[in-house]
């Protein structure tokens, strides 16, 4: 069983930055995609950014130009700059393996104050 461990959430003022990281407990398994989702109170979970095995990245329109996703082996990062109050949410990392199974982190709170 693979576990994902997240770190890096916290509270910042608008315009600030945070960096999230997420590592897998097992070093060898076939990852097809690594990504970050978020869920604000009363909202559905939404994709923030993902990086595919070939290196292609996808971003939600609301974070383009502000957030950057990257990976290093079995760790995925999300650099968040120019944070806005509407970025406040619980952020979950997600690994999807080559047979389509999804692994989820426990979630980390990001709070942006105006």
| Tens digits of residue pLDDT in 4-63 | 999 999 999 999 999 999 998 876 668 889 999 999 999 999 999 999 988 999 999 999
Pick from 28-32, 65-69, 83-87, 97-101: least confident: 28-32
Is the pLDDT confidence value at 75 over 90? yes
- In this prediction, residue 28 carries a pLDDT of 66
- In this prediction, residue 110 carries a pLDDT of 98
Phi-psi region of 54 (alpha: psi -120 to 50; beta: other; left: phi over 0): alpha
């Amino acid at each position: 069983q693979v576990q994902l461990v997240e770190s890096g959430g916290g509270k910042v003022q608008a315009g600030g930055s945070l960096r999230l990281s997420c590592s897998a407990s097992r070093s060898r398994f076939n990852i097809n995609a690594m990504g970050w989702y978020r869920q604000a109170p009363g909202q559905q979970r939404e994709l923030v950014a993902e990086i595919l095995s070939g290196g292609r990245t996808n971003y939600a329109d609301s974070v383009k130009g502000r957030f950057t996703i990257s990976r290093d082996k079995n760790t995925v990062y999300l650099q968040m700059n120019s944070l806005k109050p509407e970025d406040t949410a619980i952020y979950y990392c997600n690994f999807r393996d080559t047979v389509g199974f999804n692994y989820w982190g426990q979630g980390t709170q990001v709070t942006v104050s105006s």
